[in-house]
Chain A
Amino acid sequence: MTVLTPRIAAELAKEVYFVQNESTLPFFLARNELSASIDKKQKLTAQVGGRLIRTAKDGFGICAMGGKGYEKDLFLIFRGSTSANRNADWISNARIGVQFSKNGLPVHTGFNSIFKSMLPSIKEFIIANKDIQTIHCVGHSLGGAVATLAADWVKSQLKKTVKLYTFGAPKPGLMLFATNLTTKLEKKNIYRTYHASDPVPMIPVFPFVQPPLPGYGHFIPSNESILSAEAHDIGKYLTSVKESSWSELERRSPPYNAESMVEEWLKSKSPVTSSSHKIWQWINAGLIYVLKKIAGPLIVALQAGLMGILTITDLVAMLLKKGLDLLKAAGEWVRRLITKMMQAVGIRVVKQDEELTQEVIRGVLSKVMEKTNAEAKRAIQMIS
């Protein structure tokens, strides 16, 4: 069974951006990993941009069968937006919503509509190529989110080995989607690569989460304390990974993704400040940690809540409140987390449980989400 090396995966994710016309497609497909006969490949097209904005059709991804050494492999390679389709405003809040994927899981509305628009071409291609053993889904940025949805779909259809490689991808869906995908694909088949200082993988903010879950992907540390434009560039990703193996990249996992470190952080008495972008990632990790402790199977409620009865903030506040009131052990973690969140957004820390009403918790959460949003937005504006 073949695994693409970090270099090859990053090269594919980069080079797909340069396929802007039908005429460049054969030269992309001339790569060693891809099969030489043109009829085995097909360009996918997608409707880019919002439903309200009329935009032109554009190539968005490529299906190809593998070449020598990858004979029974199917490649699904997606790219992010380019200057030629600059109206593809996927980053905007208006496009951030939740809808249910083909498999009934909560995913990002914008990414899902792009994926759905490409699905007929993917289906056609798969029908035409019967002997498929392994599927490689690859993409950078928006393309990485779409590749993730493609991996989810293709796994449920084909029951073959599906490998997912993403670089600097935004969060494709909610917790239930991420955990379900991780179980289905198996964690070892998810190669999510991201620079610590790339803001795109941070968005949209919680409750959107990154697969693998549990797990933390492949992390490239950075000494920069600020989020940077260059850190999102696919060229920079290629440079970062090209000499490494996946296991080398995995070894560099960030501290806030290890449960023991999250516990450590929640327990620490030192007050938090909002001066570093890392604080929002710690809070995010803390929130996931605590919700897993209190909700467990109840996490399904997160999905139910999306049916329109409650907002996400209401729902999370409700879960935290329940945890605080009903569960002795988990209640302690809820208290610690809320304290951290209050410090981070600069509001007076409430010590008494009686004061921590659902409304107060909801208020803290809103502030945290607002601040995280603002932080991510500031970073995005800086680079967009």
Chain B
Amino acid sequence: MFQKQEEEVVLFSPMQGQITLNGKPVADARVERFLKWKDETGEKDSFSTDQNGQFKIPVKKDTVKLSTISKFVIAQEIRVYIDKEEYLIWTMGTGNKTRYGELGGKPINLRCELSDAMQRVEVDDGLLGTSCQWDSIEKK
């Protein structure tokens, strides 16, 4: 209890879904994930959609020393690039560091329509704006 403890944290839970533009699946689009948690720079990695606009972003973890004086906050952003166009589809600040903790469970049938406006979504221990939708949240 008196020691600073190292802890494995989930920075980003696995995410899969479909990206559409005006209702049509977007094939071969670059999906970029940006995460910031331990410094101001953050890290980026990229994925792409398949022929049906389906994308999969794997889990991202880290081992960190937690502090209570400094709040542990993860910033997440997801952008989709089609030709020269950039679409922000997900921006979040979260204090949750567990698998599927961002939304309080796994989102079922996640889909993101690029022409939709980003909305504020109420979550516990976080702040989320997204244009994605889901049918339900599967709790453990």
Contact = CB atoms under 8 A, between A and B. Distances in A.
Interface of A: 15, 17-21, 23-24, 26-28, 30, 55-58, 79-86, 88, 91, 141, 200, 229-230, 232-235, 378, 380-384
A233 B120 contact: no
A17 B36 contact: no
B94 interface: yes
A56 B40 CA distance: 6
Given A23-B88, A24-B93, A84 B73 contact: yes
A24 B92 CA distance: 6
A304 B41 CA distance: 44
Nearest to A86: B70
5 contacts: A19-B93, A23-B91, A26-B118, A80-B71, A83-B72
B17 interface: no
Contacts of A235: 95, 125
A187 B118 CA distance: 42
Contact of B71 (A58, A230, A234): A234
Interface stretch (B20-28, B46-54, B61-69, B108-116): B61-69
A229 B68 contact: yes
B69 A17 contact: no
Interface residues of B, number: 32
Interface of B: 1-2, 4, 36-41, 64, 67-73, 75, 77, 88, 91-95, 118, 120, 125-129
A379 B88 CA distance: 42
Contact of B70 (A24, A28, A57, A82): A82
Given A24-B75, A380-B69, A384-B4, A18 B40 contact: no
Which of B40, B69, B72, B91 has the largest number of chain A CB atoms within 10 A?
B69
Contacts of A19: 93, 127
Given A18-B94, A18-B127, A381-B2, 12 more contacts: A17-B93, A20-B93, A24-B91, A27-B129, A30-B120, A80-B70, A82-B70, A82-B72, A83-B37, A83-B64, A232-B68, A232-B69
A292 B72 CA distance: 41
Contacts, number: 108
Nearest to A56: B40
A21 B77 contact: yes
B74 to A, nearest CB: 8
Contact of A18 (B2, B69, B95): B95
B37 to A, nearest CB: 6
A378 B70 CA distance: 16
Nearest to B124: A235
Contact of B77 (A17, A23, A381): A23
B120 A27 contact: yes
Given A58-B40, A83-B38, A26 B71 contact: no
A215 to B, nearest CB: 26
B127 A28 contact: yes
A141 B73 contact: no
A350 B2 CA distance: 36
Q: Which of A20, A57, A86, A383 has the most CB of B within 10 A?
A: A20
Contacts of B41: 56
Contacts of B68: 229-230, 232-233, 383-384
Contact of A84 (B4, B69, B75, B95): B75
Contacts of A85: 40, 70
Contacts of A229: 68
A88 B95 contact: no
A18 B38 contact: no
A332 to B, nearest CB: 41
Nearest to A87: B39
Contacts of A230: 68
Contact of B129 (A26, A79, A233, A384): A26
Contacts of A200: 69
A229 B7 CA distance: 16
A20 B36 CA distance: 8
